[in-house]
Every structure is written in C-alpha cells, then in structure tokens.
Amino acid sequence: MAWVSVAVGGVAAAGKIFGAIKGGQANRASQALLNKQQEENKAAYNNNANKDFLQTNVAKDTVKEMNQANEDNTKAVAGRGAITGASDEALVAGNSANHQTFQNGLSKLAAQGTAYQNQQEAMFRGQKATLDNQQMAINNSKAQNAANLGDAAGQLAGTVAGVAGMKGGGLLKSSVSKYAGSHDSGVMDPYDPTI
C-alpha cells in the first residue's frame, strides 16, 4: 500500500515538473510577443511624435486650402477695388485683413501640431503602461513557475527518499529477523551470505 502512495507522489511531482516546464515555454513565447509589441510601440512613437506636424497630410491639406483661400480673397479685394474705384490704401487694408486671416490659420495649425505631439506622447505612455503591466504579469508567472518547479523537485526528492527508506527499511528488518532466527549470538555478521 505504501508503494502506491509513493508512486502517486512520484507521478504528481513529475506532473508538476512537466507543468512548470510547459509554463516556462509559454512564458518565453509571451515574452517574445511582448518584446515585439514593445519594439513596435516605440517605433510608432518615434515615427509619429518626432514627425513635423506640418509634413502630415492633414497639415499639408490645410495649408493648401489656406493658400487657395488667401489667393481667392486677394483677387476678390482687387476685383472689388477695380469696380468701386478703391484707393490703394483700401486695397492694402483689404489684403492686410486677408494676410492676418492666413497668419491666424498658421497659428492654429501650430497649436494643432503641439496637440498632435501631446496626443502621440499620451498614446505612447498609455500603451507603454499596458505593456509594462503585461511584463510584470509575465515576471510573476515566471516566479510562480520557478516556485512550482522547486516544490515539485522537493516532492520528487521526498518521494525518492521515501522509496529508498522503504526499501532499505524493509530489507534491514527482514535481514535482522532472518539473522536473529538463524544465529543464537544476537550479533550480526556482515559477511554472512544468508543475510
């Protein structure tokens, strides 16, 4: 009966060791995936946050529209001035208002560029925090797997020691009984082949 519990203990310990090994393999795969995600996140941040906002398609389109609007307004001021016979001062004042509108648009665009960079920074930090949390989870899993492996190894060692003790104890008891029954002196002879 004792052999059954020893065998079950050995199988349980071997199962824990196998589970810890498989857990370690899964952790390595998760770590590789996480490393890739971290690299992609950093590359995306470097690509977007360090980009000149005025070189983005949104900014280029906005500047193009502002230039077109400025040209159209300048032509309209000149056309109205020609029809109404406006003075040069009136034409300059009309064009100054157009240029001021254009400058205001550029200022807004610069503010959008700052907001864009801040948004990229916030997105990167948020994603980095998520990836850092995943890294901590993997580290905790690795620590738990190591603890489980140590526990399983200890159980296996205990099982092996139990088997050795049972075998040794059983043999020792049978040898003593055998020797005591065949010898009257009560002293065991280690060279006796009947032991």
pLDDT interval class at 93 (50, 70, 90): confident
Q: What is the largest CA-CA distance in the chain?
A: 146
Per-residue pLDDT of 156-171, as tens digits, reads 777 777 766 665 544 4
- Mean pLDDT, range 99-115, rounded to an integer: 87
Confidence of residue 99 (pLDDT cuts 50, 70, 90): confident
Of 4-18, 41-55, 82-96, 109-123, the range with the lowest mean pLDDT is 4-18
Among 71-85, 133-147, 170-184, which is the least confidently predicted range?
170-184
* Residue 183: per-residue pLDDT: 46
Cα separation of 74 and 92, whole Å?
Answer: 10
Least confident of 6-20, 34-48, 138-152: 6-20
The residue behind tokens 């995943």 is: 134
Average pLDDT of the chain is 78
Least confidently predicted of 36-40, 65-69, 99-103, 151-155: 151-155
C-alpha 70/C-alpha 90 separation (Å) is 17
- In percent, the amount of the chain with pLDDT more than 90 equals 2
pLDDT at 16 over 60: yes
Q: Is residue 187 very low, low, confident or very high in pLDDT (cuts 50, 70, 90)?
A: low
